[in-house]
């Protein structure tokens, strides 16, 4: 059952990364979270697989051939990518999901549109996402904020970094390929 073992190894490697992720997040509380996610969920499994491969210690029932390792990594990285794609709402508290939970909590009375709007504070929806972009090095502020609190910045200018520009272009090109206008955010 070679392929079944590959599936178990791929899922196992992902679960290991996930455990490391929880530990790192609770102990270190990393600032550049996207960088840390990449390290924990992409580089760590690759290094793990390489270590098994180079040392010649094959996992039971799998062996040490490169093709098997690649198939394990493919599954692990897809699981990791699925988690990483789900991570922004975990980190930022997705407004759509917050609306669903609030309406659910309102029970049979429901909520008016004004009440849903009141769930979110005026500034926080954009300012917190700006802070994330600054922390991840995708944009930078001309005058370095003294307290890292972008809510308090009134007239500062935000500049996009090279990395941020590449990501913006990637999404812009993708929408162009689909021939769709930019999303409303």
Is the separation of the CB atoms in 145 and 153 below 8 Å?
A: yes
Largest CA distance in the chain: 63
Which of the residues 135 through 174 are near another protein (CB under 8 A)? 138-139, 150, 153-160, 164-165, 167-169, 171-172, 174
- Binding flag, residue 32, another protein (CB under 8 A): no
Q: Residue from 1, 27, 28, 57 that binds another protein (CB under 8 A)? A: 1
Question: Phi, psi (5° rounding) for residue 63?
Answer: 85, -170
> Whole-number minimum distance, CB 54 to another protein, in Å?
20
Q: Residue from 113, 144, 146, 147 that binds another protein (CB under 8 A)? A: 113
Half-sphere exposure of 36 (CA within 13 A, CB side): 17
- Binding flag, residue 35, another protein (CB under 8 A): no
Structure-token match 């178990």, residue found: 8
Q: Please work out the total of residues on this chain that contact another protein, with binding judged by CB under 8 A.
A: 83
Hey, is 139 helix, strand or coil? strand
- Binding flag, residue 125, another protein (CB under 8 A): yes
Helices 66-92 and 124-135, axial angle in degrees (round to 10): 140
> Whole-number minimum distance, CB 4 to another protein, in Å?
5
Q: Residue from 56, 67, 144, 146 that binds another protein (CB under 8 A)? A: 67
In angstroms, rounded to a whole number, what is the distance separating the alpha carbons of residues 73 and 53?
Answer: 12
> Whole-number minimum distance, CB 31 to another protein, in Å?
13
């Amino acid at each position: 059952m070679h392929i079944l073992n590959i599936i178990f190894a791929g899922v196992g490697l992902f679960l290991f990364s996930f455990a490391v992720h929880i530990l790192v997040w609770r102990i270190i509380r990393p600032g550049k979270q996207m960088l840390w996610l990449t390290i924990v969920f992409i580089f760590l499994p690759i290094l793990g697989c390489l270590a098994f491969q180079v040392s010649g210690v094959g996992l039971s029932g799998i062996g040490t051939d490169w093709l098997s390792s690649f198939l394990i990594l493919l599954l692990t990285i897809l699981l990791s990518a699925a988690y990483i794609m789900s991570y922004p709402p975990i980190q930022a508290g997705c407004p759509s999901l917050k609306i669903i939970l609030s309406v659910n909590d309102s029970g049979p009375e429901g909520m008016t549109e004004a009440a849903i709007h009141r769930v979110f504070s005026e500034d926080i929806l954009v300012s917190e996402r700006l802070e994330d972009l600054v922390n991840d090095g995708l944009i930078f502020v001309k005058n370095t904020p003294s307290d890292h609190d972008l809510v308090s910045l009134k007239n500062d200018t935000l500049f996009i970094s090279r990395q941020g520009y590449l990501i913006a272009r990637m999404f812009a090109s993708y929408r162009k390929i689909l021939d769709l206008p930019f999303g409303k955010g």
